[in-house]
Amino acid sequence: MGLPQAGAPGPALRPRRHGLGATALMAASGFAGLGWQLLWTQQSAPWLGHESAAVLAVLAAFFGGLALGAGALGARIARSARPARWYAACEALIAAWGLLLLALMPLWGATALALTGVQPAPAWHWAVAFGGSFVLLLPATAAMGATLPAMARVTAQLGAAADGPSIAALYAANTAGAVLGVLACAFWLLPELGLATTTGVCAALNAACAGAAWLGWRQAGSVGSAGSAGSPSSAGDASPHPASPAGTGMPPAAVSARPTQPATRRRLLGLLAATGLLGIGLEVAVVRVLSQVAENTVYTFALLLAVYLVGSALGAAAWARWGAPRPDAHALGNRLLLALAAACLLGGGSLWAAEPWQAAALAALNAALGPGLLPALATEAWLALAAFGPPTLVMGALFSQLAARAQASGLGLGQALAANTLGAALAPAVVGVLLLPAVGAKATLLLLAAGYLLLASPQAWLRPGPWLVATPAALLALAAPPLVFVDRPAGSQLLDYREGVLAAVSVVQDAQGVARLRINNRQQEGSSSSLQVDGRQALLPLLLHPAPRQVLMLGLGTGLTASAALQDPALQVEVVELLPEVIAAARHFHPAWADPRTAGRLQPLAADARRHVLATPRRHDVIVADNYHPARSGSAALYTVEHFRAVRARLAAGGLFCQWLPLHQMDHETLRSIVAAFRAVYPGGSALLASLSLRTPVLGLVGHADDAARLDVARLRARLQGAAGLPRPPAAFGLHDEWALLGSFVAGPQALARLAGDAVPNTDDRPVVAWRAPRITYAPVSTPEARLLALLPQLGLAASELLTPADASALGPRLAAYQAARNRYVAAGQAVQPSADVRLMLAQVQAPLLDALRLSPDFRPAYEPLLGMAQALARHDPEAARRLLTELARLQPARVEAGLALRAL
């Protein structure tokens, strides 16, 4: 990219050559810029958390840094004789600071945790998150904000006149590079290489841009002063804008016109700021609506952002190609504003049809390509295109037109960018925090469209255009239903619906009286019918501890798990839940949750679980982590080595940690990576099943503060007897005796080591779960029961890995028999077809269940269904019922129920 030497292309080809070079550099810089945004968001999350204050503050800090860099440095760059050096310096600073943040970010994280506290007020949390992130990222973000003004000045000074890129073309190239950066990072770099290596890739791109600019354009100032083609400005020109068509997008006559009035400049800056706010506000609102239809994985948000950027890039490129400057720039701006308002209505209107469109598109793509990840992702991209396509095309053109007008009026490009980016920085708070929770998605989208209408000048309203847009907006406001997506089966009723800052939470009760809690209508957090399993998820780890007092639960859901723990008056229960709306909705599911008698022992906290564990100084006897859906955005951070290590640091002496895993929501490789991460912190850990369910199997990983801890059977028996007086004792949850508790274990340390094998552990640097788990969500390749039945033979447990030496020697054979009976029972359930006819059911299950009882007389789960079916069969076939009851009494003589039923016959 060096300047012409002997034998190089002649002067007529120089503009095109420099123009192509500038476009390539801006594309590479855009690629790295979006890569940095994704990286810094990932790196900040462990310490800042996923609460709304932190998420929005980091985004605002990023935009704020861009705005400051464009505003503070843009004017100096416009007056510089050597803008190529400015550009090279900015790119070099981005690369160096990005690498330095690998070391600075953890140090800042510890400081942020100390400043934020355990449960900060939202305003203080916002202040720490925004202020710290703004300062921490400022050197790099300010340099990013100055790159476009610097490149625009370079191309003007190099004489890239008619054949060179305009501001719109540079902006389009930068945005197109950002699209590639989003997709490459989301689908390749981060999953395959991790954060540290991706940091190196982005830094290398910035460094390459710096080197190319420094070496290729080191004489840019002298070229400009020599009067290169198309560059009337001199190297010493102190004007606040590059006075060339390539730099301004305006004809020379417009640039040299008499200075524009200050009021006009202020209006242009106001338009740039307002359109920045409305543009990012639209992105926030549409993403929130589509989160109730799409799967909400890392791929979902990458695709939404990519489509938004593609539309903006195409709009800017179209403006650079066909939007020739015209004398009626003011009127043209009005027309673009009206077009953008109409495009918002058109794109927003597609959201009402998002569900049927999704179903139709997915069915068509599955038929054409076969079920898989690609059709599912293409469907989400189609939804994003329908919503974002029309408005973002006009946005790209409108920004290009306003930037050109701003420069023609005497404003620098840096000032224009600063105003636009400052408006964008305000959008997440204004739209995400204020508008969406207060008025809902429908009113928010209509207000955004109205905002573009109101930006048109008063003279424009004397013509039909604004009224042609305002009329359908008014009709939508009056006639369209709310943009609320809640599955409502026939006969159901909506008990609760809350639109929060981060998600929408609903509670729906079906015709049978079963209430279900959903987040964004996609993620079911439990139901009122799941008390049996949810309660076991509390009782199993609590009973394993000899004398728990302080309990920490990470994740609330319906509150049924916490309610089971709250029965014990000796327990103090602290529950951390990210969404305040979920805490409010839990009152629909169990009286114990809202019982005032538990108020002194229950502490619900609306906070990010990972940040809370890092920030709290308290230690707990038992920590129970909910079975978070691993594919949902942010959940994978709770399955990392670093998080498991932080949890272990919060265990009291003799404490234990139980991490529940939803086997029905993860594939085998995702499970292996989580187990590998768990074993890195708890090498002596074991695993148990929450229940014997085939449809929703849940596996628990159990680790002890003392990794060599073993269970004492006599102590377990005493714990069960002590809990027998609870309102709902362990027996009500199927935990009748110590064998039910011990028999829940399916793997010891050796089996978990075999299961993990050579899997990549899920870490902050290699968040493989976030990228792998969505695949089975989009395109299931097996059923939950098939995955469980394939997993059980790979597991195993020796009594010596679980029990004290004395108990292992005395009770090892009985434990092995119980495990064999359990596996036989689970395997038998795969082929069962439910039927109301007891004879048909017995024909399917009688033989395998009796086999399970023959294997272990301690195995109760097979006894109870056979006893119930025998009693029902007695009404139709007393002799068959007598034979079955006799066999039950023989196989489990310690139980009296079969004998009593026989006497009743």
Q: 370: alpha, beta or left, given left = phi > 0 and alpha = psi -120 to 50? A: left
Taking only the tens place, the pLDDT of each residue in 374-384 is 999 999 999 99
Does position 449 have pLDDT exceeding 90, yes or no?
yes
Mean pLDDT over 534-554 rounds to: 95
Summarize the confidence of residues 533-556 as an average pLDDT. 95
At a CB cut-off of 8 Å and minimum separation 6, what does 477 contact?
442, 443, 446
User: Which pLDDT value is given to residue 731?
Assistant: 92
Decide if pLDDT at 7 tops 70: no
What's the pLDDT at 86? 93
Angle 860-864-866 from CA coordinates, rounded to 5°: 115
Please give the pLDDT value at position 812.
93
What confidence score (pLDDT) does residue 596 get? Answer: 60
Structure confidence at residue 33 (pLDDT): 93
Are 487 and 519 in contact, with CB atoms under 8 Å apart?
no
- What is the rounded average pLDDT of the residues 857-878? 87
Predicted confidence (pLDDT) at residue 293 exceeds the cutoff of 70: yes
Q: Is the pLDDT assigned to residue 655 strictly greater than 90? A: yes
Rounded to the nearest angstrom, the gap between the alpha carbon of residue 856 and the centroid of all alpha carbons in its chain is: 45
Band the pLDDT of 780: cuts 50, 70, 90.
Answer: confident
User: Rounded mean pLDDT of 90-117?
Assistant: 92
Dmax over Cα atoms in the chain, in whole Å?
Answer: 113
Looking at per-residue confidence, does 323 or 508 come out higher? 508
Q: Which letter, b or e, does each residue of 757-774 get, where b requires 16 or more Cβ atoms within 10 Å of its Cβ?
A: eebbbbbbbbbbbbbbbb
pLDDT grade for 228, boundaries at 50, 70 and 90: very low
Element (H, E) at 661: strand 651-662
C-alpha–C-alpha distance, residues 501 and 580, integer Å: 10
Report the pLDDT value the prediction gives residue 550, as an integer from 0 to 100: 97
**pLDDT score for 56:** 76
CA 443 to mean position of chain CA atoms: 25
875 has a pLDDT exceeding 90? no
Helix (H, G, I), strand (E, B) or coil at 106: helix
Q: What percent of the chain has pLDDT over 70?
A: 90
Give the integer Cα–Cα distance in Å for 121 and 335: 45
pLDDT at 725 over 80: yes
pLDDT band at 108 (very low <50, low <70, confident <90, very high): confident
Q: What is the mean pLDDT of residues 324-342?
A: 81
294 burial level (CB within 10 Å; 0-12, 13-18, 19+): buried
Quote the radius of gyration of the chain (alpha carbons, Å): 32
- 11-230 classified as CATH 1.20.1250: yes
Residue 632, pLDDT score = 87
Cα–Cα distance, 217 to 151 (Å, whole number): 11
- Per-residue model confidence (pLDDT) at position 406: 86
Can you tell me the mean pLDDT for 91-97?
A: 97
Lowest average pLDDT, out of 424-433, 756-765, 852-861, 888-897, goes to: 888-897
Is the pLDDT at 829 greater than 70, yes or no?
yes
pLDDT tops 90 at residue 622: yes
pLDDT at 227 over 70: no
pLDDT value at position 712? 93
Q: Where are the domains of the chain?
A: 11-230, 523-797, 798-905
pLDDT tens track for 238-286: 222 333 222 223 333 333 344 557 888 889 999 999 999 999 999 999 9
Does residue 646 carry a pLDDT above 60?
Answer: yes
> At 651, is the secondary structure helix, strand, or coil?
strand
Q: Given pLDDT bands bounded at 50, 70 and 90, which one contains residue 98? A: very high
C-alpha closest to that of 640 among 674, 687, 615: 674
Taking CA atoms, 584 is separated from 49, 612, 624, in Å, by 21, 20, 21
CB 167 within 8 A of CB 247: yes
Q: Comparing 11-230 with 523-797, is the CATH topology the same?
A: no
pLDDT at 823: 92
Pair of tokens at residue 67: 């705005």
Q: Stretch 439-455: mean pLDDT, rounded?
A: 94
Q: Helix, strand, or coil here: 9?
A: coil
Q: What pLDDT score does 19 carry?
A: 64
pLDDT tops 80 at residue 201: yes
pLDDT at residue 6 is higher than 50? no
Joined tokens for residue 147:
């790159």
At 705, list the tokens.
Answer: 């503060």
Average pLDDT, rounded, for the chain: 86
> Contact 458/331 with Cβ under 8 angstroms?
no
Cα gap 746→22, rounded to integer Å = 61
Least confident of 226-240, 300-314, 668-682, 749-763: 226-240
pLDDT in tens, 397-439: 999 899 888 888 888 888 999 999 999 999 988 998 889 989 9
> DSSP readout, 807-853?
HHHHHHHHHHHHHHHHHHHHHHGGG----S-HHHHHHHHHHHHHHHH
DSSP assignments along 690-711, one per residue: S---SSS-EEEEEEESSTT--B
Model pLDDT for residues 657-689, shown as the tens digit of each residue: 999 999 999 999 999 999 999 999 999 999 999
Residue 697: pLDDT over 90: yes
Structure tokens at 56: 């929005």
Burial of 584 (0-12, 13-18, 19+ CB in 10 A): middle
Backbone dihedral region for residue 239 (phi beyond 0: left; psi -120 to 50: alpha; all else: beta): beta
* Fold of the 523-797 domain: Rossmann fold (3.40.50)
